Amino acid sequence: MGKDMKKTILVTGGAGFIGSHLCARLVAEGYRVISLDNYFSGSKENHVAGVEYREGHTKDIETFVPETDIDIIYHLGEYARVEQSLLEPEIVHDLNVVGTRGVLEFWKKRRTKLLYAGSSTKFGDGGQTRGTSPYAATKAANTELVKELGDSEKLPYAITYFYNVYGPGERAGLYGTVIETFKHMYLSGAPRTVTSPGTQTRNFTHVDDIVDGLLLVGEKGQGDEYGLGSDKSFSIVEVARMFGDDIIMLPERAANRMQSSLDLSKSRALGWEPKRRLEEYVHEFVRTHPPGPRREKRVLIFSTTFHPIAGPAEEALTELIGKIPGVHFDIVTAAFSPNARSAPPPFSNVAVHRVGAGRAFDKYLLPFLGFRAAHALQKRHRYLFAWSLLASYGALAAILVRRVSGLPLLITLADQRFDDLSLIKRALLRAIFSDADQVYGISASQEAAAARHGGVSLARASLGEGDAFANQLRYAYAEILLKRHKRS
């Protein structure tokens, strides 16, 4: 891309993983670069010297970018996770539908070139996965909108498709990439979690190759179908084994495509070729980073009730436990009834620690008796993390354990409702949310209600060494819960 052709470039999502690498290259080549990012998944740690950063939603792009001399728009600023999108369709709609409409209107008025970052999910399993998640559906629909508007208005545009991008600066956590998640598990000594069946294949592409392609297509490309991906594919279990043999298989997930077709013909016609190889990248990482000491595959769970007295939250947990026999679960719960005491655990990889006298009143004693039982367990085991199924009596015991031992705490809200809470319960919620490291619901609306009634934002701090592992278990649990809810 010659400097004499392009002067001012706008990058939406410029503080994200790919966007920050693109901004760095553009600045290095002498362009004026404007980044518009709402920092939903981007980070100010990704800022590049010389870039003009503006914080805001793409739906308000006219307000934040009043310039009329934009030469090219790189629209990367959308929601970008397949499976997580099933849990927060409202956010996906806001970013990928409402936000992108704002960008397209901006493009139409400026009549400049737009490069849209489509998604390879559109081609998954012969096109069958394009509607299986809010992310895949909105991205596929947006490619059609770009084509229709570009062709009808005779606007210059190009649509690229990324294939599993990796490289320096990847994200971990809730919106993390596969490679970065495996790296964190490797460094922490936690097992690598692989979604069943493990034979699903991906074309992993280095971010520098992606940026090479973006610059080339931005300069010379016109129209759709510019695939940017490595032509060598790997199964997910093959990639996990690049980091070692300590692997845990998780249940299958919805929207998890088995493969994607890859067409690089139009990109290659411009002179683009993928140059970096995943196996070399991972080999170098493993060579220069020793693995963490192997962790005990053990999780400490708090639940007000458990098998055989169980609601949807507990039933979903039981199903999850049965599907991952390689992980041991210690469950601290109220005895609740005389029969519960004699009930055998549902699976060999779970130990149930019941407290109380076998009466319904036991739930009120759980914060104290449960703390004592859990504290004793915590002294004998090195847990990956603590997990409270709901923000209830069990969570109070979990908070006490966290305060005394520092064991990181995840709280899931499952099917919990937050209507008509008394002042006392609202105060307890505030204490629970304030002391937890992470709090997650099964939808954005449920999380908003929880935060509103609790009076605080839901915690999103790291779970330390157990962070990447906990995120995978939490997601598998949420999907089981949602499936059960739909069936009922």
Could you give the CA distance from residue 361 to residue 338 in angstroms, rounded to a whole number?
A: 12
Domain boundary among 238, 268, 288: 288
- In the chain, how many H helices and how many E strands? 19, 19
- CA angle, corner 114, sides to 108 and 119, nearest 5? 120
* Residue 413 structure tokens: 């809200």
Same domain, 413 and 435: yes
Which CATH number belongs to the domain containing residue 93 in this structure? 3.40.50.720
Does residue 254 sit in the same domain as residue 379?
no
* 324 & 270 share domain: no
Half-sphere exposure of residue 331: CA atoms within 13 angstroms, side-chain side:
25
The encoded tokens of residue 345 equal 């655990």
**Parallel/antiparallel/unpaired status of strands 298-303 and 328-334:** parallel
| pLDDT < 70: residue spans in the chain | 1-6, 124-131, 255-257
Element (H, E) at 36: strand 32-37
Buried b (16+ CB within 10 A) or exposed e, 128-141: ebbebbbbbbbbbb
Domain boundary among 230, 258, 288: 288
Residue 155 sits in the same domain as residue 33: yes
Indicate if 337 and 466 belong to the same structural domain.
Answer: yes
Instruction: Look at residue 125 in the predicted model and tell me its pLDDT.
Output: 54
| Token pair listed for 433 | 């949310």
Residue (of 461, 453, 435, 416) closest to 303 by Cα position:
416
In a domain, 464, yes or no: yes
Buried b (16+ CB within 10 A) or exposed e, 38-71: bebbbeeebbbeebebbeebbbebeebbeeeebb
Q: Is residue 148 part of a domain?
A: yes
Q: Sheet holding 223-228: strands in order across?
A: 52-55, 32-37, 8-12, 72-75, 113-119, 157-162, 223-228
Domain that includes residue 353, residue range: 298-487
User: Are residue 238 and residue 322 in the same domain, yes or no?
Assistant: no
**Is the domain of 81 the same as that of 133?**
yes
Residue 109 covered by a domain: yes
**Is residue 1 included in any domain, yes or no?**
no
- Asked if 255 and 322 sit in the same domain, the reply is no
**Overall number of domains in the chain:** 2
CB 65 within 8 A of CB 36: yes
Q: Is 379 inside any structural domain?
A: yes
CA distances to 156, 329, 392 from 473, in Å: 44, 12, 20
Peptide bond into 344 cis (omega under 30): no
Express each pLDDT in 394-423 by its tens digit.
Answer: 999 999 999 999 999 999 999 999 988 899
Q: What is the number of alpha carbons within 13 Å of residue 337 lying toward its C-beta?
A: 9
Rounded Cα–Cα distance for residues 485 and 175 (Å)? 24
Is residue 412 included in any domain, yes or no?
A: yes
Q: Which two tokens stand for residue 170?
A: 């990847």
The token pair that represents 64 in the structure block: 């934040």
Q: Which position has the token pair 């695939």?
A: 227
pLDDT at 3: 44
118 membership: H or E segment, kind and range? strand 113-119
CA angle centred on 201, ends 187 and 160, rounded to 5°: 95
Taking a C-beta distance cutoff of 8 angstroms, is the pair 474, 253 a contact? no
CATH number for 477: 3.40.50.2000
Whether residue 2 lies inside any domain: the answer is: no
Output the pLDDT for position 129: 63
First-to-final CA distance of the chain:
56
Which residue, of 240, 263, 288, is where some domain finishes? Answer: 288
Residues 6+ positions from 144 with CB-CB distance below 8 Å: none
Query: For strand 350-355 and strand 328-334, is the pairing parallel, antiparallel, or unpaired?
Result: parallel
**Longest alpha-carbon distance in the chain:** 81
Residue 430 lies in a domain: yes
Question: Which residues are paired to 433 by β-bridges?
Answer: none
For the whole model, what pTM was predicted?
Answer: 0.89
Q: Are residues 231 and 332 in the same domain?
A: no
At which residue do the structure tokens 């919106």 appear? 175
Residue 242 and residue 309 in one domain: no
**So what's the pLDDT on residue 87?**
81
Say yes or no: 143 and 123 in one domain. Answer: yes
Contact status, residue 358 vs residue 309, Cβ threshold 8 Å = no
Mapping DSSP to helix (H, G, I), strand (E, B) and coil, where does residue 301 land?
strand
Instruction: Verify that 251 and 314 share a domain, yes or no.
Output: no
